[in-house]
């Protein structure tokens, strides 16, 4: 007997006021006998559910108590279905849960909820790529996070070193279609890329998350630390106003618009870990921008330009030759 099915049964009763075992069975795709056992279990657990015999009978909540999906307003319900809808396209369990939630809504909400659930599609594959399939490791990690069970797995560091880890899985984060595990270790909090995890196994040992643990706040700190390490070199470039958006899109957090000059060009500050890593994305701009305050980056641009000229210049050649 599954807790999620009991909750779905209760929500169904709350939305309709009175149901029969056959109606519950049809809505939740279980047998009539299973539906009847679930209704009896709710009553035995102290939920004010009682049967009404005879024609037109069924199961009801005491006093006819009803609610709109556990008290959710329509705006809250709409946001919920907008969030869950895209996940249902790739996760069978999410799809099943969404179907049960829709069925538990009052009739006045149901049509709009179904529309909201199908209003957004997430396609994580870039053009020319196949849609990525969630790994079995990720499913196992999710179970360990929810069940609060320690995990053991092999892990390859960024430098290629491999070793075994035993961790407390505190939470999972999907950043730009790359999954990360935030976990507790003997050395403190650590972050692991899920695609570097090998042979994960859930141990029988439980754990408790640190008091006040908030995954969103923890991840914000992780991102801030990583971004700080990634932005060791900053330079100022001058570029036409119409290209500023492209620079911002390319450098993201490491891009700051400083102001506009008298000649109409915009001063933009961009950063990367090294002078070469700053120069590489700027080199493709040719003469469309100018670096003004970093001899190191200017030297890298000159070197890259010389390499390109040496490799691709053809004496006496023309575009039509």
pLDDT for the residue 302? 93
232 falls in which pLDDT band (50, 70, 90)?
Answer: confident
DSSP character string of 63-90: GG---STTT--HHHHHHHHHHHHHHHTT
Q: Which residues of the chain does CATH 1.10.10.10 include?
A: 3-64
Query: Average pLDDT for residues 233-251, to the nearest whole number?
Result: 91
| pLDDT of 80 strictly over 80 | no
More confident residue, 167 or 158: 167
Architecture of domain 136-215: Roll (2.30)
Q: What are phi and psi of 129, to 5 degrees?
A: -105, 155
135-144, 228-237, 264-273, 312-321: least confident range: 312-321
Say if residues 13 and 61 touch (Cβ distance below 8 Å).
Answer: yes
**Within 13 A of 28's CA, how many CA atoms are on the CB side?**
30
Collapse the DSSP code of 269 into the 3-class scheme (helix H, G, I; strand E, B; otherwise coil) and give the result.
Answer: strand
CATH top class, domain 231-312:
alpha beta
Query: Average pLDDT for residues 212-225, to the nearest whole number?
Result: 86
Say if residues 175 and 212 touch (Cβ distance below 8 Å).
Answer: no
If phi over 0 gives left and psi between -120 and 50 gives alpha, with beta otherwise, what is residue 58?
left
pLDDT for the residue 175? 81
Query: Average pLDDT for residues 292-317, to the nearest whole number?
Result: 86
More confident residue, 196 or 78: 196
Neighbours of 211 (CB within 10 A): 5
Architecture of domain 3-64: Orthogonal Bundle (1.10)
| pLDDT of 68 strictly over 50 | no
Which distant-in-sequence residues (6+ apart) come within 8 Å of 131 by Cβ?
123, 124, 125
Q: pLDDT tens digits, residue range 32-64?
A: 888 888 888 777 766 677 787 766 678 887 654
pLDDT for the residue 38? 83
Full strand arrangement of the beta sheet holding 233-240? 255-260, 265-272, 233-240, 289-291
114-128, 145-159, 214-228, 251-265: least confident range: 114-128
Q: pLDDT tens digits, residue range 91-131?
A: 566 666 666 666 666 555 566 666 655 555 555 566 666 65
Query: Average pLDDT for residues 213-239, to the nearest whole number?
Result: 84
Q: Which residues of the chain does CATH 2.30.30.520 include?
A: 136-215
Q: pLDDT tens digits, residue range 162-216?
A: 889 999 999 888 887 788 999 999 989 999 998 889 899 999 899 998 888 888 8
Q: What whole-number distance in Å separates Cα of residue 196 and Cα of residue 192? A: 8
Q: What whole-number distance in Å separates Cα of residue 193 and Cα of residue 249? A: 24
Percent of the chain with pLDDT over 70: 70
More confident residue, 285 or 114: 285
Q: What whole-number distance in Å separates Cα of residue 52 and Cα of residue 64? A: 12
Query: Average pLDDT for residues 15-43, to the nearest whole number?
Result: 83
More confident residue, 269 or 178: 269
Q: Which residues of the chain does CATH 3.30.70 include?
A: 231-312
| pLDDT of 317 strictly over 90 | no
**Partners of 202 in the β-ladder:** 151
| pLDDT of 316 strictly over 70 | no
| pLDDT of 133 strictly over 60 | no
Cα torsion angle, 56, 58, 62, 67, sign: negative
Q: How far is CA 3 from the centre of its chain?
A: 26
Which distant-in-sequence residues (6+ apart) come within 8 Å of 118 by Cβ?
85
pLDDT for the residue 4? 61
Say if residues 118 and 111 touch (Cβ distance below 8 Å).
Answer: no
pLDDT for the residue 79? 57
């Amino acid at each position: 007997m599954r807790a999620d099915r009991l909750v779905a049964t209760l929500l169904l009763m709350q939305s309709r006021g009175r149901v029969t075992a056959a109606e519950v069975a049809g809505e939740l795709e279980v047998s009539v006998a299973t539906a009847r056992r679930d209704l009896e279990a709710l009553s035995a657990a102290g939920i004010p559910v009682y049967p009404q015999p005879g024609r037109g009978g069924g199961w009801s909540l005491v006093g006819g108590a009803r609610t709109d999906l556990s008290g959710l307003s329509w705006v809250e319900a709409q946001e919920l279905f907008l969030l869950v809808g895209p996940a249902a396209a790739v996760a069978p369990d999410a799809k099943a849960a969404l179907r049960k939630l829709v069925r538990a809504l009052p009739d006045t909400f149901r049509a709009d909820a179904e529309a909201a659930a199908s209003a957004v599609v997430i396609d994580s594959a870039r053009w020319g790529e196949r849609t990525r399939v969630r790994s079995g490791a990720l499913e196992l990690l999710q179970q360990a996070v929810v069940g609060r069970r320690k995990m053991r797995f092999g892990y390859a560091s960024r430098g290629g070193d491999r070793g075994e880890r035993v961790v407390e899985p505190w939470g999972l984060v999907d950043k730009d279609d790359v999954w990360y595990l935030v976990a507790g270790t003997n050395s403190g909090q650590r972050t692991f890329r899920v695609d570097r995890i090998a042979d994960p196994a859930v141990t029988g040992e439980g754990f408790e998350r640190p008091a006040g643990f908030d995954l969103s706040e923890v991840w914000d700190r992780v991102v801030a630390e990583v971004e700080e390490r990634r932005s060791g070199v900053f330079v100022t470039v001058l570029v036409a106003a119409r290209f500023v958006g492209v620079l911002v899109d390319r450098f993201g957090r490491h891009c700051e618009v400083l102001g506009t000059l008298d000649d109409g060009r915009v001063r933009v500050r961009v950063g990367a870990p090294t002078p070469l890593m700053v120069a590489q994305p700027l080199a493709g701009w040719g003469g469309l921008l100018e670096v003004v305050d970093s001899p190191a980056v200017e030297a890298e641009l000159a070197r890259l330009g010389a390499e390109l000229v040496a490799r691709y210049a053809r004496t006496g050649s023309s575009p039509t030759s």
